[in-house]
């Protein structure tokens, strides 16, 4: 188990350079674009910031997760495909678990972290 964790850590850090390095910029950028769009929509609809609502409202959690996944799923799936191509080019084998970790980090986390603040910023501006 320690060997797997060590390999996974080394492989994930190794993704910072090498072929397809542009994905480290493009995938979060696309996630940010979706977060901007959805945060603005939330603000116009008068909704609570997304991540706060996701954490504090268990009754709507399923609906919120579905809505968020619908927005970020294309970016996530593209990130998985690009990471698998990267692995084929740069690593001796393909590790799907590493592709999922890298894709979640590059696509989902930026979306989750920015959608709520964008909502707040648009709400403060007041001009939709």
The two structure tokens encoding residue 72: 């970020």
Per-residue pLDDT tens listing for the chain (128 residues): 777 677 777 766 666 676 767 878 888 898 999 999 999 999 999 988 988 888 999 999 999 999 889 988 988 998 899 888 888 888 888 989 888 998 899 889 999 999 999 999 998 887 55
In whole angstroms, what is the distance from residue 76 CA to residue 114 CA?
16
Domain ranges of the chain: 2-125
Rg over CA atoms, the chain: 17
Q: Is 119 exposed, middle or buried (0-12, 13-18, 19+ CB in 10 A)?
A: buried
Q: Are 72 and 107 in contact (CB under 8 A)?
A: yes
């Amino acid at each position: 188990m320690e060997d797997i964790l060590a390999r996974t850590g080394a492989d994930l850090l190794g993704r910072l350079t090498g072929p397809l390095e542009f994905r480290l910029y493009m995938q979060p950028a696309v996630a940010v674009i979706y977060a901007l769009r959805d945060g603005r929509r939330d603000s116009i609809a008068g909704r609570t910031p997304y991540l706060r609502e996701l954490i504090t409202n268990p009754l709507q959690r399923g609906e919120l997760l579905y809505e968020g996944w619908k927005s970020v799923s294309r970016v996530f799936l593209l990130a998985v495909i690009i990471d698998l191509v990267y692995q084929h080019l740069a690593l001796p084998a393909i590790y799907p678990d590493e592709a999922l970790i890298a894709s979640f980090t590059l696509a989902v986390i930026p979306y989750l972290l920015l959608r709520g603040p964008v909502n707040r910023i648009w709400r403060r501006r007041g001009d939709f």
